[in-house]
Structure 1
Amino acid sequence: MPQLAFSRRSALRGLGAAGLSAALAGCGVPAAYVPEARREGRDRSGGERSLAFSNWPLYIDTDDEDESRRPTLDAFTEKTGIAIRYTEDINDNDEFFGKVGPALMSHQETGRDLVVVSDWMAARFVRLGWAQKMTRSAQPNVARYLDPQLRSPAFDEGRLHTVPWQSGITGIAYNRKALGREIRSVRDLWHPDLAGRVTLFSGLDESFALLMQGNGVDVTRWNASDFHRMCDQVEGLVRKKHIRRFTGNDYTSDLGKGDVLACQAYSGDAIQLRADNPDIEFVVPEEGAELWAESLLVPNLARHKKNAEALIDHYYAPEVAASLAASVNYVCPVPAAREVLAGSGDRESAALAENPLVFPDDEMRRRLAVARDISSAERAALAKRWNAIVGL
């Protein structure tokens, strides 16, 4: 299970310090866009049985006795003969964007065949034309088993350039015993008994959807008026000191120590929070919650595109997806993996199969939505408004 000291979702920053990220946030540099016809390089997959895969730390299964071994990757190599150079060198979306951006902007190789970035950053890669279109005919598992709710995000209709690695839910975590009541709605966070005991995420991309949903907004088609109405509300709560502070992943320690009673939270963290303190509850509010993903993509001029596509399809085999889900405890993008875990004969695996934070049931799914991402044209103005409230 990933350690709570690091959460991929909380490492995000909408307009990070990297100069390249800021410069291209509006995608206003014509030379940066790469048309589809210029994205593929000479694929060496046939002659070179290898690929380079960049991921976040603590985001893959490891062997209990030897943490340097990654069983699902090893199984792929044994089956195909393709050696994988696996590196955990993504610690922040904007930092990584700044690392590979100059090469992609200059139409050069990045040295990577496969990367995992968060959905809003994947949107930036797709808009800039920095992600190659995948050959779905070579990925039967993806075509068959990908979660229907994740099949066609606004930034990549039909999932032509990206495939979810893992998914998750942004909802509310709270201490049921200390608060003395249930939280069922985003509006419940603004009750007087929570004054000064609530935290929200500081990152624009992490925070806005759930807060809009609390106002009854359909986040698949929100507009600027919806956004500014939400900001007006949050700004007023800050002035009243109702909101204690804005956080990254340190919300977990605030909640664990009792400094806050309720907060925006991620479903992947909530599983460990509950294991440490059964009084902690995670709720998908009545108005809905955001379903997000972190996506695999093949950057332009990757040397081993076919090998990368084969590895992606490997992870969409239900038994492989089940092994990964059992290790990382995020929402599994392969619903069929649930049956594998349920029929494993292992008590912990069977319990995981019934956990709606890993395999959302139908009732929960009706309250989940994939938010429309912030467009390049909107980002600078919206980030300026939000960051002024947060104090960044």
Structure 2
Amino acid sequence: MKKTLQKIYLALILILLYAPILTLVVLSFNASKTRSKWGGFTGEWYVALFQNESIMNALYTTLIIAFLSALFATILGTMAAIGLQATKKKLRSVFLTIANIPMLNAEIVTGISLMLLFLAFRMTLGFTTILLAHITFNIPYVMLSVLPKLKQTDIHTYEAAQDLGASPLYAFFKVVFPDILPGVLSGFLMAFTMSLDDFIITHFTKGPGVDTLSTKIYSEVRKGIKPEMYALSTLMFVTVLFLLVLINTAPPKKLTKEERQKQRKAVRISRTIFRKVVPAMLVIVIVAGGFFYNSKQNFANGSNRVIVYNWGEYLDPEAITMFEEETGIDVVYEEYETNEIMYPKVESGAIAYDVICPSDYMIQRMIDNDLLAKINFDNIPNIKNIGQTYMEQSRQFDANNEYSVPYCWGTVGILYNKKMVKEPIESWSVLWDEDYKDSILMQDSVRDAFGVTLKYLGYSLNSTDRDELYEAQELLIEQKPLVQAYVIDQVRDKMINNEAAIGVIYSGEAIYCQQENPDLEYVIPKEGSNIWIDSWVIPKNAQHKENAEKFINFLCRPDIALMNFEFITYSTPNTAARELIEDPAIRNSRIAFPDASELEGCETFKFLGDKNDRIYNELWRQVKSK
């Protein structure tokens, strides 16, 4: 019985360890993009992986940074360890304590500190700052590996070599270095591994257009993982597994004298290859591949590019390619998930973005805080294609239409599964219905969450009344046990895959979801909702303002606006593009283009001032922490 229980226990442990990996492997061969159904066996995601420039770029950037940071950290760490070994014991103890602080410190503290240091020296965040940050936090790990080996070396041998006429440098490499080489190699491998795996420090020190695998995977998770990432993870797992099996399963064998001599010869050849040929090839592959995939981001002519900061999956990649081909201007593209994530990065001035696409109330805030430049509309003749209705609506946050160009608009409503709810939904009240516990999706956005609740209570979604806000907070806290998840872009996958019955969603997302799952229905609740508009703006510190205006003008072209509408399915304010929509069901969709009667009670978010923003954020933080 005892042995049986032990086997059961071991089996459970193995299942817990490897079931997620097995699931990931299976999904990498699933022809369907959705996780909830099997679409047949396919290898297309592995082909797509190596054709996906952004993922391959992240892979090569990761390898380059890991290799270079480990190399420099090993050199500097080894020199530091040798210097410490030569100092007096008390002084050595003090320096070791200082050197160990980065290892004991929380990574987020190190990351923020390095970011502030780079900004203090007016360095542009990017590849160089990531590399410097990785070298910095890797050095202590190298020192930790080398110092024990230095303690084991015999100083008298080194002195004897000098007595025999060897120079200090020659004596070091011939006497000391061979003894500490295992520690140096161990330090290099540790530094390489730490750099390869790092996310937090990289996140705070990276700039636009530069991603490592960790930051790329994080951004993908925020908006729904693509199947290519399953393929990449599977390849990484299989590679590690193969090496482990190769190392640990070689059967012992008794060798003859002749076989032992052959083995020694093979070992010598292998050592030569691994010490000289493999490192050289590794450097060539990483540097050459990295140069190819990073050339556009890191080596482009600084005056002939435009740095774009946009919502996730909010622009057809083909449109970027067309713009680059037609203008010769390189596009450095970066994505964000919420207005609240975007704003601090722009306000800090850490990165000089050229074009950004915020929402209405955030544009007002940026104007009030003098963060935006006035647009020269002489460079944007295609502004004529934007409907006058939307230009007038923009005056609510851009009084004179000087700072923004409308890009997309829509409403916030409820998307529900007709097969999973009891009756058609008309009111926000369903979000507090206990019959749908663990089947409700809420937007992970402070203004959207409070806006929904305030409208349900009969208040303005721009309320600054403390009593009304506290009442809304209490309702959100009361609702929290019913919520399956607070999401952004993930709401699409969950609703399409029937993982939830009800979701608060943007109208453009609802159109896409209905195309994938006909059981879904979208409604603007009777209490009213938010009607929003996202627009292109140019930050005041933009370094390529004319290129930014060319980019905006290009996106206002009817054929390009139509391309983007079909890609993101959000309503376009470009009336010329709407006329080009071939499908009358889409052209006249009440979700994409609702009539005035359906928008009664809808409001546009307004900037409520920094003080009220802090109040909203604090109340939302309290809701999320309950």
TM-score by length of 1: 0.71
| Shift of residue 175, structure 1, vs aligned partner | 0.9
Structure 2 SS opposite 1:179:
coil
CA deviation after TM superposition for structure 1 residue 155, in Å: 4.0
1:39 matched residue in structure 2: none
After superposition, the Cα gap between the structure-2 partners of 1:193 and 1:325, relative to the gap in structure 1 and judged at 3 Å, is: same
* Paired AA for residue 103 in structure 1: G
- CA positional deviation for 1:103: 3.1
Instruction: Please give the per-residue CA displacement for 1:24-73, whole angstroms capped at 9, x wherever unaligned.
Output: xxxxxxxxxxxxxxxxxxxxxxxx7754434344322344xxxx9634x2
Once residues 385 and 467 of structure 2 are traced to their aligned partners in structure 1, the CA distance between those partners, rounded to angstroms, is 39
5 Å-filtered alignment, 1:315-326, equals: 315-326=555-566
The structure with more strand, counted as a fraction of residues: 1
The whole-number CA distance in structure 2 between the counterparts of 1:19 and 1:229 is 36
Q: Find the counterpart in structure 1 of residue 56 from structure 2.
A: none
Confirm or deny that 1:90 pairs with 2:90: no
- Tell me the residue number matched to 1:375: 609
Q: How many angstroms apart in 2 are the aligned matches of 1:89 and 1:187?
A: 37
Deviation at 1:367, TM superposition (A): 4.9
How far apart are 1:330 and its partner, in Å? 0.8
Structure-2 residue corresponding to 1:41: none
Counterpart check, 1:285 vs 2:531: no
SS at match of 2:334: coil
Q: Could you tell me which residue of structure 2 aligns to residue 233 of structure 1?
A: 475
Q: Residue 427 of structure 2: which of 162, 166, 185 is its match?
A: 185
Q: Distance in 1 between matches of 2:112 and 2:535?
A: 23
8 Å CA contact retained: 1:196, 1:244: yes
Name the CA distance, whole Å, in 1 between partners of 2:574 and 2:599.
Answer: 14
**RMSD of aligned alpha carbons:** 3.5
Give the structure, 1 or 2, with the largest relative contact order (CA under 8 Å, sep 6 or more). Answer: 1
How far is the alpha carbon of 1:339 from its aligned partner? 1.6
Partner of 1:44: none
Q: CA 1:391 to 1:304, structure 2 compared with 1: closer, same or farther past 3 Å?
A: same
Aligned to 1:272: 512
Distance 2:517 2:524 in 1: 19
Task: Give the structure 2 partner of residue 58 of structure 1.
Answer: 313
Summarize the alignment of residues 145-224 of structure 1 with structure 2, pairs less than 5 Å apart. Answer: 145-146=386-387, 148-149=389-390, 151-152=393-394, 154-219=396-461, 223-224=465-466
Measured after TM superposition, the shift of residue 144 of structure 1 is 6.1
Deviation (angstroms), 1:222: 5.7
Query: Per-residue deviation at 1:324?
Result: 2.0
Deviations 1:207-261 (A, max 9, x none): 22222222222335664443222222222334xx344443343334443454432
> Superposed, which structure 2 residues align to 1:1-392 within 5 Å?
51-63=306-318, 70-71=321-322, 73=323, 78=326, 82-92=327-337, 93=339, 96-103=342-349, 110-136=351-377, 138-142=379-383, 145-146=386-387, 148-149=389-390, 151-152=393-394, 154-219=396-461, 223-238=465-480, 241-341=481-581, 346=582, 349-391=583-625
Distance 1:362 1:121, change over 3 A: closer
Give the unaligned 5+ runs of structure 2: 1-32, 36-108, 114-302
3-state SS of the aligned residue for 2:357?
strand
Structure 1 residue 130 displacement after superposition: 1.4
Which structure has the bigger radius of gyration? Answer: 2
In structure 1, what residue type is equivalent to 2:357?
A: V
SS in 2 for 1:131: coil
Amino acid of the structure 2 residue aligned with 1:145: I
Distance 1:60 1:381 in 2: 33
SS in structure 1 at match of 2:504: strand
Contact 2:412 2:531 in 1 (8 A): yes
| Separation (CA, whole Å) in 1 of partners of 2:381 and 2:434 | 53
1:186 positional shift:
0.9
Helix, strand or coil: the match of 1:133? coil
The answer on whether the counterparts of 2:556 and 2:574 sit within 8 Å (CA) in structure 1 is: yes
Deviation at 1:179, TM superposition (A): 1.0
Unpaired runs of 5+ in structure 1? 6-16, 21-47, 105-109
**Cα distance 1:201–1:303, how it changes in 2: closer, same or farther (>3 A)?**
closer
Give 2:501's aligned amino acid: L
1:332: Cα distance to partner? 1.0
Q: Quick one: distance in 1 between partners of 2:304 and 2:485?
A: 50
Relative distance call for 1:224 and 1:253 in structure 2 (3 A) is same
Q: 8 Å contact 2:375–2:403 — kept in the other structure?
A: yes
TM-score by length of structure 2 reads 0.47
Of 373-382 and 300-309, deviating more is 300-309
The 3-state SS of whatever aligns with 2:409 is strand
Partner of 2:7: none
CA pair 159-217 structure 1, distance change in 2 beyond 3 A: farther
Sequence identity (%): 22
CA contact (8 A) 2:308 2:334 kept: no
Give the Å deviation of 1:132. 0.4
- One-letter amino acid matched to 2:321: R
Q: Distance in 2 between matches of 1:327 and 1:255?
A: 19
User: Partners of 1:358 and 1:123 in 2: how far apart?
Assistant: 25
The answer to whether the 8 Å contact 1:147/1:335 transfers is no
Structure with greater helix percent: 2
- Once the 2 structures are TM-superposed, how far is the Cα of residue 111 of structure 1 from its aligned partner? 4.5
